[in-house]
Amino acid sequence: MAITRKKITDFVSIIGNVAKTSHYQVNFGGLNASLTDFLVSKGVDKDFIFRESGLRCNSAVIPGSSLATASINGNFMGVQEKMAHSRIFTEMSLQFYVDTDYRMIKFFEYWIDHISNASETEGNARKSDDNYFYRMRYPREYKCDKTNIVKFDEGDGGQIEYTFYGMFPINLSSTQVQYGSSDVLNVNVTFNYERYICGKDDSKSRAIGTAENNKP
């Protein structure tokens, strides 16, 4: 193929049309009723969970996935094949600004507490007891049905949406506080989830024909 000379201005529309990292939104939804009631009893109200918490996410990592493979020998003489047998989803890390009421920390601290405190609510054990023990709840009691991360850009640019199923926190990182010059307090949380789908899949997008996962 012949190569033709082009000016830099010919590539401006291509090179300049890139997505920015700073425009996205996180939405927590589908929390179990018992988990929501438990969080409310601890001072984390529903309006904060479903409206404010996602807006306080100042750093997110769009997760990746990979395929686990198995080696197959013998189908062809001298040839080793690899075939996929499972899809593996990586853990996801989110960072949040902490509000002055510390509800952001309480949200995840008490979510993890709800996962592991079945002995307290079902066995009448108290955390201050010397013989207190942890017992995990059933997954359906603490997993979040749907969590969304929507990545978009300014203006009329496109967007990409990720919907996570069965998400729950597995690690609440240590938060450092110190004397000296003050900085914004952040909290880092690592989540596990069953799977995710990429693309629009809500009732509105299905109704207007813009859903990207419309096929059964």
Highest-confidence range of 29-33, 174-178, 189-193, 212-216, by mean pLDDT? 189-193
- The larger pLDDT score, comparing residue 78 to residue 115, is at 115
Q: Determine, yes or no, domain membership for 168.
A: yes
Q: Determine, yes or no, domain membership for 213.
A: no
- Residue 36 has what pLDDT? 92
Residue from 32, 172, 26 nearest 102 by CA:
172
- Residue 121 has what pLDDT? 64
- Residue 101 has what pLDDT? 92
- Residue 158 has what pLDDT? 73
Q: Determine, yes or no, domain membership for 163.
A: yes
Q: What is the largest CA-CA distance in the chain?
A: 80
Query: What CATH number does residue 133 fall under?
Result: 2.30.110
pLDDT at 71 > cutoff 70: yes
- Residue 1 has what pLDDT? 58
- Residue 105 has what pLDDT? 94
Tens of pLDDT, residue by residue over 18-69, are 666 667 788 888 888 989 999 999 999 999 998 889 889 888 887 788 899 9
Amino acid in the structure at residue 141: E
Of all residues in the chain, the percent with pLDDT exceeding 70 is: 78
pLDDT at 76 > cutoff 90: no
Neighbours of 106 (CB within 10 A): 18
CA–CA separation, 182 and 27 (whole Å): 29
Phi-psi region of 115 (alpha: psi -120 to 50; beta: other; left: phi over 0): alpha
Contact present, 23 and 151 (Cβ < 8 Å): yes
Q: Determine, yes or no, domain membership for 3.
A: no
Residues of the domain holding 115 = 22-62+84-208
Q: Determine, yes or no, domain membership for 134.
A: yes
Indicate the number of domains in the chain. 1
Q: Which residues of 143-158 are buried (b: 16+ CB within 10 A; e: fewer)?
A: bbebbbbbbeeeeeee
Q: How many CA atoms lie within 13 A of 180 on its CB side?
A: 5
Residue-by-residue DSSP string for 170-199: EEE------SSS----EEEEEEE-SEEEES
Q: Determine, yes or no, domain membership for 149.
A: yes
Q: Determine, yes or no, domain membership for 79.
A: no
Highest-confidence range of 1-5, 72-76, 164-168, by mean pLDDT? 164-168
- Residue 166 has what pLDDT? 92
Q: Determine, yes or no, domain membership for 185.
A: yes
Contact present, 172 and 108 (Cβ < 8 Å): yes
Contact present, 96 and 58 (Cβ < 8 Å): yes
SS3 93: strand
- Residue 61 has what pLDDT? 81
Name the strand (E) or helix (H) holding 149. strand 144-152
- Residue 145 has what pLDDT? 87
- The larger pLDDT score, comparing residue 76 to residue 87, is at 87
Tens of pLDDT, residue by residue over 97-139, are 999 999 999 999 999 999 988 666 665 667 777 777 788 889 8
CA–CA separation, 134 and 118 (whole Å): 7
